Amino acid sequence: MHTVGGIGRQIAYWRTRRGLTQAEFARLMGRSVRWVEDVEAGHRQADPRLSVLARAAVVLHIGIDRLLPPEPNREGVDHDPLAAVRVALRRADLAPTAGAPVEPPDLGVLRRELAYGWTAYAAADYLCLDRVVPPMLVGIGAASVGEGAADPLAPMVVRAGALTLAAAAAHVFGDADLAWRAADRAVTAAGRSGDAVVLARAADRLTAAMVGHEGAGAAAEFALEVEADLAAALGPCGAAGRAALRTLRLGAALATARLGDRSGTRDLLDAAERIDPGAIQVPLYRVTAHVLLGEYGRAVDGRLDPTALAVLPRGRQARHLIDLARALAALGRRGEAVTALLDAEVAAAQEIRCRPINRTFVQEILRLDSSVDGDEARLRALAARCAGKGSTRSERAWIM
């Protein structure tokens, strides 16, 4: 447990750094000056609620981890990279208590935090998400109950985005239950927002989560149902609408590939390509689908050339290279597979080190017989680096 005095000192330190008086900070927190004085002196909140800390983090424009004194290292116990996200979804105090004098947070600040979170996700900077996501979830809980806003649906758009990002983070670290719960709540919030593009993105994340929670068949059926329901609404949304439709079809394609349905997968991939011919996402998904279907030669043949790959976000580059490594290893081309894995690590190290499925793959390929000098040493070094970023969560085999 963190000491209250330590938390109070951190709040006082960051309040001062931001140039806020206790009265100004109290107003932004929706509290009294006496409350701020007591918190900073360590006289209140023997066990501070997550909502209080997250609200303070939003007001002070810092990650929630900055308010927590470091806990001593416990040898042999891995850091849980989703601890705060898990608590934020579980706690009933995500929204302020009825009647509590809490000023809704600045939606502009929350939007910027959300944009930063998605930028970090695209770059496979996954380890920062545990401090970025929880303050957004708690902060938007306050915003969503505000009355008289110029755009009353705007908080739901941000809430849906924050929950979708939480689901994506849970997926990375292999927590199937958390991914499903966050994605399900994201779809609910997105539906209330009235924004078809936001709903399609949340539904795509729920499709991926359903694979590990309810099975690939249910996931594919859900994605196609949502696509049919939203097609008319997404049509007038231009490029964003086309991208959302394409993403839903691609998600359904990967779920169908998991069922071993080659013709169904091919039809869905072709349909996605017809939405936006030339879009780079379709070739990427084709390679992943070939791996899922055991068509390893086709996966290797479909690899993107370095120039095309270089324009993608680093996380997506790494995932494509890992797909290729799986195909190459299955074909017995271990040396090339190791090179692809090391290239993926260069592109986005956390893509390999944080995802349980990828760390497990490194261990699996390590056990294969080596016929190329130097592979063993390179692979063992990679395995050692992966071990340094261990996760306590399930090693479930997800690719989506």
Cα dihedral 61/64/70/73 (nearest 10): -140
Secondary structure letter of residue 278 according to DSSP: T
Give 178-217 pLDDT, tens digit per residue: 999 999 999 999 999 999 999 999 999 999 999 988 899 9
- Concatenating the DSSP letter of every residue in 189-249 gives HHHHHT-HHHHHHHHHHHHHHHHHHT-HHHHHHHHHHHHHHHHHHHGGGHHHHHHHHHHHH
How sure is the predictor about 391, in pLDDT bands with cuts at 50, 70 and 90?
Answer: very low
Q: Which of 196, 277, 189, 273 is nearest to 237 (CA)?
A: 196
Give 230-245 pLDDT, tens digit per residue: 999 999 999 999 999 9
- Helix pair 356-366, 375-387: axis angle to 10 deg: 150
Distance (Å) of CA 18 to CA 12, 37, 59, 254, 265: 10, 17, 10, 47, 53
Secondary structure letter of residue 370 according to DSSP: P
Give 47-98 pLDDT, tens digit per residue: 456 667 777 877 887 766 667 654 444 333 356 788 888 887 876 344 444 4
Give 242-268 pLDDT, tens digit per residue: 999 999 999 999 999 999 999 999 999
Q: Is-contact 394 174, C-beta < 8 A? A: yes
SS3 label, residue 80: coil
| pLDDT confidence of residue 373 | 57
Q: Is-contact 100 30, C-beta < 8 A? A: yes
Give dist(CA 333, CA 330) in Å, integer. 7
Secondary structure letter of residue 360 according to DSSP: H
Give dist(CA 210, CA 177) in Å, integer. 9
Q: Which of 38, 28, 64, 34 is nearest to 49 (CA)?
A: 64
Secondary structure letter of residue 305 according to DSSP: P
Span 322-339, average pLDDT: 94
Look at the alpha carbons of 16, 21, 25, 28 in this order and tell me if their dihedral is positive or negative: negative
Question: Phi and psi at residue 148, in whole multiples of 5°?
Answer: 80, 15
Cα dihedral 132/134/139/144 (nearest 10): 120
Q: Tokens 């004085």 sit at which residue?
A: 37
Span 362-380, average pLDDT: 74
3-state helix, strand, coil in the chain (%, to 5): 70, 0, 30
Distance of CA 282 to the CA centre of its chain: 21
Give 130-143 pLDDT, tens digit per residue: 888 888 887 776 55
| pLDDT confidence of residue 376 | 75
Q: Is-contact 116 110, C-beta < 8 A? A: no
Give dist(CA 157, CA 188) in Å, integer. 11
Q: Which of 150, 165, 154 is nearest to 116 (CA)?
A: 165
Give dist(CA 253, CA 262) in Å, integer. 10
- What is the enclosing helix (H) or strand (E) of 300? helix 296-301
Residue 363 in this model has a pLDDT that exceeds 70: yes
Give dist(CA 40, CA 25) in Å, integer. 12
Give dist(CA 376, CA 374) in Å, integer. 6
Q: Which two tokens stand for residue 375?
A: 């592979």
